[in-house]
Amino acid sequence: MLFLKIFQILLFIGLVGGTFYFAFKKFKEIYDNIMMGQAEKINSTLGFRIKSMLLIAFGQKKMFKLTFAALLHLVIYVSFCITQIELLEIFIDGLTGSHRIIYHAVENIPFLHTLYLVVINFIEILSLLTFFVTIIFILRRTTFKVERFQKPELKGWPWKDALLILAFELTLITFIFLMNGADSALHIKEHGEGYGFFLSSAIGGMLQSLPSGLLQALERIGWWGHLCMVMGFILYLPYSKHLHILLAFPNTFFTRPEPKGEIHNMPAIQHEVQSMIDPSFVVPASDGEVKFGAKDVYDLSWKNLLDAYTCTECGRCTAACPANQTGKKLSPRKIMMDTRDRMEEIAACKKEHGPEFVDNKSLLGDYITGEELRACTTCNACVEECPVNISPLSIIIELRRNLIMEASDSPAEWNNIFANLENNQAPWQFSPNDRLNWTEELN
């Protein structure tokens, strides 16, 4: 018995330690990928940052633009947060070889005992609700075919990723009820009643006719199965869109304080215009070295790259995008997914061939085409809709600047407009001196 206990403690430490080691390695890689971006100063106060994070990530404020989906998501979100309490007991049991250590510690302290029962019952009710909500989420993708989940960019791995994590959740909840149900059945056999957990006592009542040895085995299968699912989830998280459950917090913390969709000037262009207006203005020599816009992920800012890793692939941006709605190739969700995929590709190449390796590919061209970028109306709907304050528009603007100003890749109609802007300070072909001609016929 003692040998089995020690074996289980060692297995627990090995499993948890190994999981955190490999998860940490991958999270570090993601951090390095984000930091390959350019510097960007977020000019916000600490108060603004905390408020954004509490309202948007913690409070799920923007989710409620779609009430039904938000309520479903809220069940999973609250359940995920609260079940960590039971996980804490599992961790202590795993490390010490004890069984329901918190239950036994508070058993004779009425207030804490009641509190413990309330918490575990709440977890069980939430787990049951989560089970049904997860099934609804699967049906929304597979049977009801909600339109934003049927777009081309979700084909292949993103589709499997979404379903895999839902299957994960169902399995994990099944293990929780197996563990608590079998444990309750044993408790009923020994003490004539369950622990006082409403749902698992009911399951325990149904299982109590099974032999004690089998119940103990089922409890252990549930316990270890639950733990393996949690560890598997931690390992899988950095490879999945579900990374948003962590990154939504820093991403909303670093929300840009400027009005959504504000387009920043390019200093080099600003200087050029200044020198045209004021001949005494001296254009800084460094402007000659400037590269316009972004061709690859290295040219984007760290905030753009954090946005990409935070994207939940929910498609609310794409559903609201007028370009996408009118059949254009542009999907703001795809812009975010491509940016993340490109970072992952670079990281994989560097791992295989060394840090100096250049693969001669780029985000612009190999992932995102000019056709997609030109379709953007800069309407800002994608930014407005995103539940975690991501700006696909910011990436589109940077790539389009590069496309036009570095690669000179713009349609003839646009070139005429650019020439007019340069020469006439307006998109039309009239001299600035003729601007008020239309008023001559007025009284």
Look-up of token digits 């080099």: 268
Minimum gap (Å) between residue 395 Cβ and ligand SF4: 10
Q: Is 56 in the site for ligand SF4 (CB under 6 A)?
A: no
The CA–CA distances, whole Å, from 11 to 33, 135, 176 equal: 33, 33, 20
Name the minimum Å distance from CB 43 to ligand SF4.
22
Asked if 332 interacts with ligand SF4 (CB under 6 A), we say: yes
Compute φ and ψ for 311, nearest 5 degrees: -60, 130
Cα separation, 122 vs 141, in Å, equals: 28
Cα 187 from Cα 131, distance rounded (Å): 25
Number of residues that bind ligand SF4 (CB under 6 A): 29
Q: Shortest Cβ distance from residue 379 to ligand SF4 (Å)?
A: 4
**Cβ 385 to ligand SF4, closest distance in Å?**
6
Interaction of residue 72 with ligand SF4, rule CB under 6 A: no
Does 243 contact ligand SF4 by CB under 6 A?
Answer: no
- Residue 343 binding ligand SF4, by CB under 6 A: no
CB of 62 to ligand SF4, least distance (A): 9
Q: Does 247 bind ligand SF4 (CB under 6 A)?
A: no
Which lies closer to ligand SF4 via its Cβ, residue 180 or residue 318? 318
Q: Which of 97, 205, 250, 322 binds ligand SF4 (CB under 6 A)?
A: 322
The set of long-range contacts for 406-415, using a CB threshold of 8 Å and a minimum separation of 24, is 406/291, 406/292, 406/293, 406/295, 409/370, 410/374, 411/374
**Residues of span 348-407 touching ligand SF4 by CB under 6 A:** 376-382, 385-386, 388, 390, 392-393, 396
Smallest distance, Å, CB 265 to ligand SF4? 18
- Distance, CA of 166 to CA of 435 (rounded, Å): 61
DSSP category for residue 195: -
154 binds ligand SF4 (CB under 6 A): no
When asked if residue 250 is in the footprint of ligand SF4 (CB under 6 A), the reply is: no
Q: Which of 192, 226, 195 is nearest to 208 (CA)?
A: 192
- Angstrom distance (rounded) from CA 161 to CA 369: 25
For residue 368, the SS3 value is strand
Pick 226 or 242: Cβ nearer ligand SF4? 242
Whole-angstrom Cα distance, residue 379 to residue 286? 33
Q: DSSP assignment, residue 264?
A: P
Q: Is 256 in the site for ligand SF4 (CB under 6 A)?
A: no
Q: Interface with ligand SF4 includes 429 (CB under 6 A)?
A: no
- CA dist 35 and 165 (Å) reads 28
Q: Write out the binding residues for ligand SF4, residues 290-319 only, by CB under 6 A.
A: 311-317
Instruction: Provide, rounded to whole angstroms, the least separation between the CB of residue 110 and ligand SF4.
Output: 46
Query: Minimum distance from CB of 122 to ligand SF4 (Å)?
Result: 29
**Burial tier of 260 (Cβ tally within 10 Å: 0-12, 13-18, 19+):** middle
The answer to whether 158 contacts ligand SF4 (rule: CB under 6 A) is no
Identified binder of ligand SF4 from the candidate list 172, 199, 247, 330, rule CB under 6 A? 330
Enter the DSSP assignment of 301: B
CA dist., res. 396 & res. 416, Å (int): 22
Query: 294 or 382: whose CB is closer to ligand SF4?
Result: 382
Structure tokens at 25: 């390695």
- At closest approach, how far in Å is the CB of 425 from ligand SF4? 25
Residues that bind ligand SF4 (CB under 6 A): 311-317, 320-323, 330, 332-333, 336, 376-382, 385-386, 388, 390, 392-393, 396
